[in-house]
Structure 1
Amino acid sequence: MKFLITYLITLVVFFVVDIAWLGFFAKDFYKEQIGFLMRETTNWVAALVFYFIFILGLVFFVINPALDSGSIMEALLKGLFFGFIAYATYDLTNLATLENWPIKVTLVDLVWGTTLGGLVSFISYYFLAMV
Protein backbone atom coordinates (compact mmCIF):
# COMPACT_ATOMS: atom_id res chain seq x y z
CA MET A 1 0.00 0.00 0.00
CA LYS A 2 2.89 2.37 0.80
CA PHE A 3 4.29 1.93 -2.71
CA LEU A 4 0.91 2.72 -4.30
CA ILE A 5 0.39 5.86 -2.20
CA THR A 6 3.93 7.01 -2.96
CA TYR A 7 3.40 6.33 -6.66
CA LEU A 8 0.09 8.22 -6.83
CA ILE A 9 1.40 11.27 -4.99
CA THR A 10 4.53 11.30 -7.16
CA LEU A 11 2.37 10.94 -10.28
CA VAL A 12 0.36 14.04 -9.38
CA VAL A 13 3.48 16.05 -8.51
CA PHE A 14 5.19 14.95 -11.72
CA PHE A 15 2.28 15.95 -13.95
CA VAL A 16 1.91 19.36 -12.30
CA VAL A 17 5.63 20.12 -12.65
CA ASP A 18 6.08 18.73 -16.17
CA ILE A 19 2.88 20.29 -17.52
CA ALA A 20 4.05 23.66 -16.19
CA TRP A 21 7.34 23.21 -18.06
CA LEU A 22 5.93 21.87 -21.31
CA GLY A 23 2.77 23.97 -21.35
CA PHE A 24 4.14 27.32 -20.30
CA PHE A 25 7.89 27.69 -20.06
CA ALA A 26 9.22 25.56 -22.92
CA LYS A 27 6.25 25.29 -25.26
CA ASP A 28 7.67 27.55 -27.96
CA PHE A 29 11.27 26.43 -27.42
CA TYR A 30 10.65 22.87 -28.57
CA LYS A 31 8.51 23.98 -31.52
CA GLU A 32 11.23 26.38 -32.67
CA GLN A 33 14.09 23.91 -32.21
CA ILE A 34 12.61 20.59 -33.32
CA GLY A 35 9.24 21.47 -34.80
CA PHE A 36 10.35 19.86 -38.06
CA LEU A 37 10.57 16.52 -36.21
CA MET A 38 7.40 16.83 -34.14
CA ARG A 39 4.11 15.10 -34.87
CA GLU A 40 0.95 17.09 -35.55
CA THR A 41 -0.63 15.37 -32.55
CA THR A 42 1.15 13.86 -29.58
CA ASN A 43 1.28 10.08 -29.30
CA TRP A 44 -0.23 10.06 -25.82
CA VAL A 45 0.11 6.31 -25.34
CA ALA A 46 3.89 6.51 -25.77
CA ALA A 47 4.08 9.66 -23.63
CA LEU A 48 2.06 8.12 -20.81
CA VAL A 49 4.09 4.90 -20.89
CA PHE A 50 7.27 6.97 -20.49
CA TYR A 51 5.73 8.97 -17.64
CA PHE A 52 4.56 5.86 -15.79
CA ILE A 53 7.97 4.17 -16.17
CA PHE A 54 9.92 7.30 -15.17
CA ILE A 55 7.75 7.75 -12.07
CA LEU A 56 8.10 4.06 -11.24
CA GLY A 57 11.87 4.52 -11.33
CA LEU A 58 11.73 7.61 -9.12
CA VAL A 59 9.59 5.84 -6.54
CA PHE A 60 11.61 2.60 -6.54
CA PHE A 61 15.15 3.97 -6.75
CA VAL A 62 14.83 7.41 -5.16
CA ILE A 63 11.77 8.32 -3.10
CA ASN A 64 11.09 5.13 -1.14
CA PRO A 65 14.76 4.67 -0.18
CA ALA A 66 14.91 8.33 0.89
CA LEU A 67 11.75 7.91 2.96
CA ASP A 68 13.22 4.80 4.57
CA SER A 69 16.37 6.70 5.54
CA GLY A 70 14.45 9.84 6.52
CA SER A 71 16.48 12.14 4.26
CA ILE A 72 14.91 14.76 2.03
CA MET A 73 18.40 15.63 0.77
CA GLU A 74 18.80 12.04 -0.39
CA ALA A 75 15.53 12.39 -2.29
CA LEU A 76 16.73 15.61 -3.90
CA LEU A 77 20.23 14.46 -4.84
CA LYS A 78 19.26 11.00 -6.06
CA GLY A 79 16.30 12.52 -7.90
CA LEU A 80 18.61 14.96 -9.68
CA PHE A 81 20.90 12.10 -10.66
CA PHE A 82 18.04 9.85 -11.80
CA GLY A 83 16.56 12.65 -13.93
CA PHE A 84 19.94 13.36 -15.48
CA ILE A 85 20.52 9.69 -16.37
CA ALA A 86 17.05 9.25 -17.87
CA TYR A 87 17.15 12.41 -19.95
CA ALA A 88 20.78 11.87 -20.97
CA THR A 89 19.80 8.49 -22.39
CA TYR A 90 17.13 10.11 -24.55
CA ASP A 91 18.91 13.28 -25.57
CA LEU A 92 22.36 11.88 -26.22
CA THR A 93 20.89 9.02 -28.25
CA ASN A 94 18.99 11.58 -30.34
CA LEU A 95 22.13 13.67 -30.74
CA ALA A 96 24.05 10.59 -31.87
CA THR A 97 21.46 9.20 -34.27
CA LEU A 98 19.29 12.00 -35.66
CA GLU A 99 20.65 14.11 -38.50
CA ASN A 100 19.54 17.55 -37.36
CA TRP A 101 19.02 17.15 -33.63
CA PRO A 102 20.08 20.49 -32.08
CA ILE A 103 22.71 20.43 -29.33
CA LYS A 104 20.77 23.29 -27.74
CA VAL A 105 17.81 20.94 -27.20
CA THR A 106 20.10 18.34 -25.67
CA LEU A 107 21.56 20.84 -23.21
CA VAL A 108 18.23 22.40 -22.23
CA ASP A 109 16.58 19.00 -21.93
CA LEU A 110 19.41 17.63 -19.78
CA VAL A 111 19.02 20.56 -17.41
CA TRP A 112 15.25 20.09 -17.41
CA GLY A 113 15.38 16.32 -16.83
CA THR A 114 17.83 16.78 -13.98
CA THR A 115 15.66 19.50 -12.44
CA LEU A 116 12.47 17.49 -12.97
CA GLY A 117 13.84 14.40 -11.24
CA GLY A 118 15.13 16.40 -8.28
CA LEU A 119 12.12 18.67 -7.90
CA VAL A 120 9.54 15.88 -8.16
CA SER A 121 11.47 13.72 -5.69
CA PHE A 122 11.89 16.60 -3.23
CA ILE A 123 8.23 17.71 -3.37
CA SER A 124 6.91 14.14 -3.25
CA TYR A 125 9.12 13.34 -0.27
CA TYR A 126 7.90 16.48 1.50
CA PHE A 127 4.22 15.53 1.10
CA LEU A 128 4.79 11.86 1.87
CA ALA A 129 6.73 12.65 5.05
CA MET A 130 3.61 14.43 6.32
CA VAL A 131 1.36 11.39 5.72
Structure 2
Amino acid sequence: MLQYVTAYISTVIVFLAIDYVWLTQVATRFYFDRIGHLLMAKPNMAAAGAFYILYVVGLVIFAVAPALKSESVVTAIILGALFGFFTYATYDVTNYATLKDWPFLVVVVDVLWGTFLGGISAGAGYLLTRAFT
Protein backbone atom coordinates (compact mmCIF):
# COMPACT_ATOMS: atom_id res chain seq x y z
CA MET A 1 0.00 0.00 0.00
CA LEU A 2 2.85 2.39 0.85
CA GLN A 3 4.24 1.86 -2.64
CA TYR A 4 0.98 3.04 -4.24
CA VAL A 5 0.72 6.07 -1.96
CA THR A 6 4.31 6.93 -2.86
CA ALA A 7 3.52 6.37 -6.55
CA TYR A 8 0.54 8.73 -6.34
CA ILE A 9 2.40 11.48 -4.48
CA SER A 10 5.44 11.24 -6.75
CA THR A 11 3.37 11.23 -9.93
CA VAL A 12 1.09 14.07 -8.87
CA ILE A 13 4.03 16.31 -7.94
CA VAL A 14 5.69 15.76 -11.32
CA PHE A 15 2.42 16.10 -13.23
CA LEU A 16 1.42 19.34 -11.48
CA ALA A 17 4.87 20.90 -11.81
CA ILE A 18 5.18 20.20 -15.53
CA ASP A 19 1.58 21.15 -16.34
CA TYR A 20 1.92 24.36 -14.30
CA VAL A 21 4.92 25.44 -16.37
CA TRP A 22 3.11 24.51 -19.59
CA LEU A 23 -0.08 26.38 -18.70
CA THR A 24 1.51 29.48 -17.18
CA GLN A 25 4.70 29.95 -19.18
CA VAL A 26 4.44 28.16 -22.51
CA ALA A 27 0.90 27.66 -23.77
CA THR A 28 -1.05 30.53 -22.25
CA ARG A 29 -0.92 32.69 -25.38
CA PHE A 30 -1.54 29.71 -27.66
CA TYR A 31 -4.80 28.77 -25.93
CA PHE A 32 -5.93 32.34 -25.35
CA ASP A 33 -5.42 33.27 -29.01
CA ARG A 34 -7.41 30.28 -30.25
CA ILE A 35 -10.10 29.60 -27.62
CA GLY A 36 -9.94 32.69 -25.42
CA HIS A 37 -13.56 33.51 -26.23
CA LEU A 38 -14.53 30.20 -24.58
CA LEU A 39 -12.40 30.60 -21.45
CA MET A 40 -13.70 31.77 -18.09
CA ALA A 41 -12.12 34.87 -16.54
CA LYS A 42 -11.06 32.68 -13.59
CA PRO A 43 -10.85 28.90 -13.80
CA ASN A 44 -13.07 26.79 -11.57
CA MET A 45 -10.37 25.61 -9.18
CA ALA A 46 -12.55 22.91 -7.58
CA ALA A 47 -13.15 21.33 -10.99
CA ALA A 48 -9.46 21.70 -11.88
CA GLY A 49 -8.50 20.06 -8.59
CA ALA A 50 -10.90 17.19 -9.23
CA PHE A 51 -9.37 16.70 -12.68
CA TYR A 52 -5.83 16.55 -11.32
CA ILE A 53 -6.75 14.15 -8.50
CA LEU A 54 -8.65 11.78 -10.80
CA TYR A 55 -6.24 12.00 -13.71
CA VAL A 56 -3.23 11.01 -11.61
CA VAL A 57 -5.20 8.14 -10.05
CA GLY A 58 -5.67 6.91 -13.63
CA LEU A 59 -1.97 7.33 -14.42
CA VAL A 60 -1.02 5.33 -11.35
CA ILE A 61 -3.54 2.54 -12.02
CA PHE A 62 -2.93 2.21 -15.76
CA ALA A 63 0.77 3.10 -16.10
CA VAL A 64 2.80 3.33 -12.88
CA ALA A 65 1.39 0.24 -11.14
CA PRO A 66 1.91 -2.06 -14.15
CA ALA A 67 5.43 -0.66 -14.51
CA LEU A 68 6.16 -1.36 -10.85
CA LYS A 69 4.92 -4.92 -11.33
CA SER A 70 7.10 -5.46 -14.41
CA GLU A 71 9.95 -3.34 -12.99
CA SER A 72 10.21 -1.33 -16.20
CA VAL A 73 10.41 2.42 -16.63
CA VAL A 74 9.78 1.88 -20.36
CA THR A 75 6.42 0.34 -19.46
CA ALA A 76 5.57 3.39 -17.34
CA ILE A 77 6.49 5.79 -20.13
CA ILE A 78 4.64 3.91 -22.88
CA LEU A 79 1.49 3.24 -20.84
CA GLY A 80 1.53 6.79 -19.44
CA ALA A 81 1.87 8.23 -22.94
CA LEU A 82 -0.96 6.03 -24.20
CA PHE A 83 -3.15 7.03 -21.24
CA GLY A 84 -2.37 10.69 -21.96
CA PHE A 85 -3.05 10.25 -25.67
CA PHE A 86 -6.42 8.56 -25.23
CA THR A 87 -7.69 10.81 -22.44
CA TYR A 88 -6.64 14.07 -24.08
CA ALA A 89 -7.85 12.85 -27.49
CA THR A 90 -11.24 11.97 -26.00
CA TYR A 91 -11.59 15.48 -24.61
CA ASP A 92 -10.28 17.36 -27.62
CA VAL A 93 -11.91 15.32 -30.38
CA THR A 94 -15.24 15.53 -28.55
CA ASN A 95 -14.84 19.31 -28.33
CA TYR A 96 -13.90 19.45 -32.02
CA ALA A 97 -17.00 17.40 -32.85
CA THR A 98 -19.44 19.38 -30.70
CA LEU A 99 -18.19 22.95 -30.27
CA LYS A 100 -18.55 25.51 -33.01
CA ASP A 101 -15.22 27.24 -32.53
CA TRP A 102 -12.84 24.50 -31.38
CA PRO A 103 -9.78 24.73 -33.68
CA PHE A 104 -8.20 21.59 -35.08
CA LEU A 105 -4.76 22.97 -34.16
CA VAL A 106 -5.81 22.96 -30.49
CA VAL A 107 -6.76 19.28 -30.88
CA VAL A 108 -3.33 18.41 -32.27
CA VAL A 109 -1.29 20.45 -29.79
CA ASP A 110 -3.33 19.40 -26.77
CA VAL A 111 -3.25 15.69 -27.65
CA LEU A 112 0.52 15.85 -28.21
CA TRP A 113 0.85 17.64 -24.87
CA GLY A 114 -1.26 15.05 -23.05
CA THR A 115 0.76 12.23 -24.58
CA PHE A 116 4.06 13.81 -23.52
CA LEU A 117 2.81 14.79 -20.07
CA GLY A 118 1.36 11.35 -19.37
CA GLY A 119 4.54 9.56 -20.42
CA ILE A 120 6.94 11.82 -18.55
CA SER A 121 4.81 11.93 -15.39
CA ALA A 122 4.33 8.16 -15.27
CA GLY A 123 8.01 7.53 -15.97
CA ALA A 124 9.13 9.96 -13.30
CA GLY A 125 6.50 8.65 -10.87
CA TYR A 126 7.82 5.14 -11.41
CA LEU A 127 11.47 6.16 -10.90
CA LEU A 128 10.69 8.18 -7.77
CA THR A 129 8.60 5.36 -6.32
CA ARG A 130 11.40 2.88 -6.91
CA ALA A 131 13.85 5.28 -5.27
CA PHE A 132 11.75 5.83 -2.15
CA THR A 133 10.23 2.37 -1.51
> Is the TM value for this pair above 0.5?
yes
Could you tell me which residue of structure 2 aligns to residue 54 of structure 1? 55
Could you tell me which residue of structure 2 aligns to residue 116 of structure 1? 117
How much has 1:126 moved relative to structure 2? 1.4
Letter in 2 for 1:5: T
Could you tell me which residue of structure 1 aligns to residue 72 of structure 2? 71
Provide the alpha-carbon RMSD of the alignment: 0.8
* Structure 2 gap segments, 5+ residues each: none
Regions of 4+ moved over 2 Å: none
The number of residues matched between the two structures is: 131
How much has 1:123 moved relative to structure 2? 1.1
Are residue 95 (structure 1) and residue 96 (structure 2) matched? yes
Are residue 18 (structure 1) and residue 19 (structure 2) matched? yes
Contact 2:7 2:128 in 1 (8 A): no
How much has 1:2 moved relative to structure 2? 2.1
Which deviations, in whole Å up to 9, do the C-alpha atoms of 1:19-45 show, x marking residues without a partner?
A: 011111101111111000000000011
Letter in 2 for 1:4: V
Which deviations, in whole Å up to 9, do the C-alpha atoms of 1:70-126 show, x marking residues without a partner?
A: 000000101110000000110000000000110010000010000010010111111
Q: What TM-score, normalized by structure 1, do the two folds share?
A: 0.97
Could you tell me which residue of structure 2 aligns to residue 6 of structure 1? 7
Could you tell me which residue of structure 1 aligns to residue 105 of structure 2? 104
Identity %: 41
3-state DSSP of counterpart to 1:14: helix
Q: Which moved more, 1:119-128 or 1:34-43?
A: 119-128
* Structure 1 gap segments, 5+ residues each: none
Letter in 2 for 1:14: F
Give me the whole-angstrom Cα distance separating, in 2, the residues matched to 1:2 and 1:122: 15
How much has 1:16 moved relative to structure 2? 0.5
